[in-house]
Amino acid sequence: MNPIKLALVAGLTLVAAAPAAVAGAGTHGPADHRSRDSALVKTFGAVDRGTQWRLVDKMRLDFPTFHTEGIAFAGDRIFLSAVEILEPTVTYPTPVDGYDRSPGKGVGHVFVMDRQGRLEKDIVLGEGDAYHPGGIEFDGKDVWVPVAEYRPNSRSIVYRVDAESLRVRKQFEVDDHFGGIVLDKSTGHLVGNTWGSRRFAEWDRRGRQLSTWANTSFFVDYQDCQYVPAGKMLCGGVANLPQTPSAGGPAATYELGGLALIDLRSHRVLREVPLQQWSTAGHVVTRNPVKVTADGASLTMRVAPDNGEEGNGTEILTYRATIQKK
């Protein structure tokens, strides 16, 4: 199917409305915070290094997907963010105007698919040097998408896409590169993570920063996160580690994958576990898009780690694990 591109870079309305209730999420505020932890929190609490993840489905996407970033599942639709690189960034010998590299050039995409992976829309997002979409999340009504410059300490634009009408709204702009975002349904606030997930920030829906805190974990860099009741988020990520000289040295990096559960009130990492399953192209599966659901003692993880030009192209892989609670 030929993609139908929506050129939504210009003419988007900057939204500064008061927070609205999220469809399917109940009322924002103390009620959610007081509710019990979800099945996902409880089941993930028993995941460890020995957990066996079985590949149960593999769905190949038959359109250009470029470099995949985040994934969200909204009813009968799948949303996949990706960046198309037209001109790679170039590292400066010394910083220029506070930047360590050139901005490069590219196009930010949010691909809208049906549940069989057939492309319905290609939504183009970004402005100027901000063309890099990050990790995304569906809140029950909207899909939230941060689009940043492809370099640290830069700037980002936060968009929301109505999952039914596909209407795009530019919510706010923020200084710094934010590569992922979640909506905390216990407060109605947004939480984002910077380049390398070294810092988190919390905003109201107008983009007013309410708090910021350092990531105390250096296990993996979070790429794609999701809100988990009550007042938590689950993130997937990767760390590229240098190899030994005999294995190729720093040029032959090893991808360490992992998942982390973070408390949005205390900012503590509650549990983090390595996850070493590999894609067709040889990437660790938590490299970029990751979403996890729970059904009793079973966890289902959906990932899309491979770029469009690698291996068998981008595939949405589904893994399942039966967790033995302790």
**Domain membership flag for residue 243:** yes
Domain extent for 81: 25-322
User: Do residues 186 and 32 lie in contact, with contact meaning Cβ atoms separated by under 8 Å?
Assistant: yes
Distance CA 258, CA 270 (A): 14
Q: How confident is the model at residue 324 (pLDDT cuts 50, 70, 90)?
A: confident
**Domain membership flag for residue 105:** yes
Q: What is the per-residue DSSP string for 231-272? A: TEEEEEEEEEEPPPGGGTGGGS-EEEEEEEEEETTT--EEEE
User: Do residues 144 and 28 lie in contact, with contact meaning Cβ atoms separated by under 8 Å?
Assistant: no
**Domain membership flag for residue 4:** no
Q: Which residues pair with 96 in a beta bridge?
A: 99
User: Do residues 115 and 76 lie in contact, with contact meaning Cβ atoms separated by under 8 Å?
Assistant: yes
**Domain membership flag for residue 254:** yes
pTM confidence score = 0.89
Residue 286 confidence (pLDDT): 98
Residue 35 confidence (pLDDT): 57
Interval 78-93: pLDDT, tens: 999 999 999 999 999 9
**Domain membership flag for residue 70:** yes
CATH number of the domain enclosing 38: 2.120.10
**Domain membership flag for residue 5:** no
**Domain membership flag for residue 143:** yes
Least confident of 15-29, 144-158, 286-300: 15-29
Q: Is 195 helix (H, G, I), strand (E, B) or coil?
A: helix
Number of structural domains the chain divides into? 1
- Assess whether pLDDT exceeds 90 at residue 158: yes
Averaged pLDDT for residues 158-168: 98
Record the tokens describing residue 153, joined without a space.
């300490």
Distance CA 176, CA 104 (A): 16
Residue 9 confidence (pLDDT): 39
Averaged pLDDT for residues 136-146: 98
**Domain membership flag for residue 219:** yes
